[in-house]
Amino acid sequence: MSDTTKSFVYILLVYIAFFFLPLTDSFTQGSIMEGFYMLQDYVREHTLTCLVPALFIAGAIAAFVSQASIIKYFSPGSNPALAYGLGSVSGTVLAVCSCTVLPLFSGIYTRGAGLGPAIAFVYSGPAINVTSIFLTMKVLGLEMGVARIVGSVIFALVIGLIMGKIFQKEDSDRQSNIVKTRNQERSRPIYQDVLFIGLQVLVLFFATFSKPDSPESWLMPIYEYRFRIVGGLVLGIIALAFSWFNGFERTTWMEETLEFSKLILPMLLLGVFLAGIFLGRPGSEFGFIPKEWIQNVVGGNSLLANFVASFIGAFMYFATLTEIPILEGLMGSGMGKGPALALLLSGPALSLPNMLVLKSVIGWQKTIVYCLLVVGFSTITGYLYGMLF
């Protein structure tokens, strides 16, 4: 399909939607407002603390990290055990959602990482951060938490390997083009790159640090002083940027960050808005897909119930850790344990905004295959888990 035909189809679909949309209906108005509310919540709650640090990290990876290092550890020609192992467990140190992980994924992918290890990373990033695993164990039970972490690590490995195998030739061609067009590397001690980006990862970690359940927790002082810690880290990053990098390199960092912002933000914000319209915010009565229908369908442990839970979870947007109280409520309304795990394995790692941004980075074909693999494996795993427990 040519670009002209695609544009015509998009315009036609928008025209039909607005022609038939019952805007005077109160439910329709409420659902549309849910899109704006969810977008506002995302901008207020996640942009400054999650997305902005992630974009700067992606820009730093593109500007400062040696391409030879990325190719050495993450390319198709690197040690597969090391590449996929790093990708599949990387989420344990990141408290990111399915949207925040995208700039980091784009950074390593455009810098030379193979598709398979990059996919393992983009799945594991939001799926298995340490905080979410322990909260899952505490709220939903030990076996659910163990099943989540085991399933997530295995999914990251297997889905990454399958994606790498399916698109092996295309990815090899991309690698060749990257090597040809980016053949000039800088000479700088590796510890400088590691420390500089590591400090930015710490900014992301502390800016998103969750409030402990108990006021007596030893983590409470960290939570209370988290923004002071972030301020100190930012000052350290600025000092290192002016000490270790010249003006051209700092400008390149800003330019790369801006390029990732232009690539990711439009589709990301559109996706958050659409997710709000169709599914509403947690606890809201609005959304074009009725929540009562979801609760009725995901009861029990049939393959259909697990598929619906995986499919709906794949399109919903979960901010970091919000999937747990949502699931607690759904299970209290009759959701089976199998579908609950299926949603845990697909929901945090995927979302409509995530899909739209992935499409802009790796194309529709790879994005669709990736989403089908996540939903398919989540469905089967949830079904088997439901039979056992």
Higher pLDDT, residue 173 or 199: 199
Instruction: Summarize the confidence of residues 50-60 as an average pLDDT.
Output: 83
Interacting residues of 315 by C-beta distance below 8 A, sequence separation 6+: 275, 278, 279, 350, 351, 352, 355
Mean pLDDT of the chain: 82
Answer yes or no: are the C-beta atoms of 76 and 171 closer than 8 Å: yes
What is the dihedral angle through the alpha carbons of 267, 271, 277, 283, rounded to the nearest 10 degrees? Answer: -140
339: how many CB neighbours lie within 10 A of its CB? 34
Tokens of 127: 């799926």
Could you tell me which residue, 199 or 73, shows the higher pLDDT? 199
At 299, phi and psi to the nearest 5? -75, 155
CA distance 199 to 208: 14
If one compares 199 and 47, the residue with the highest pLDDT of the two is 199
Higher pLDDT pick, 260 / 364: 364
Q: For residues 156-173, give the mean pLDDT.
A: 89
What's the rounded mean pLDDT across residues 305-319? 87
pLDDT over 70, % of the chain = 88
Amino acid identity at 148: R
d(CA 385, CA 143): 10
Question: In 280-363, which residue ranges form alpha helices assigned H by DSSP?
Answer: 291-297, 303-315, 323-332, 337-346, 352-362
Angle in degrees, CA 144, 146, 152, rounded to 5: 95
Cα 103 to Cα 197: distance, rounded to the nearest angstrom: 14
User: CA 389 to CA 381: how far, in whole Å?
Assistant: 12
Top pLDDT among 138 and 29 is at 29
- pTM of the complete model: 0.74
pLDDT of residue 49: 79
Which whole number is the average pLDDT over 311-321?
Answer: 80
User: How confident is the model at residue 187, as a pLDDT?
Assistant: 60
Choose the weakest-confidence range: 27-36, 105-114, 234-243, 287-296.
Answer: 287-296
Q: Note the pLDDT tens digit of each residue in 147-158.
A: 888 888 899 999
Q: Is 319 exposed, middle or buried (0-12, 13-18, 19+ CB in 10 A)?
A: buried
Neighbours of 65 (CB within 10 A): 20
* Closest to 349 in 3D by CA, of 48, 34, 88, 47: 88
The CA radius of gyration of the chain, in Å to the nearest whole number, is: 21
- Provide φ and ψ at 66, rounded to 5°: -60, 130
What confidence tier does 91 reach under pLDDT thresholds 50, 70, 90? Answer: low
Q: What is the predicted pLDDT for the residue at 139?
A: 72
Instruction: Give the position of tokens 């502390």.
Output: 206
- Nearest by Cα to 229 from 198, 211, 207: 207
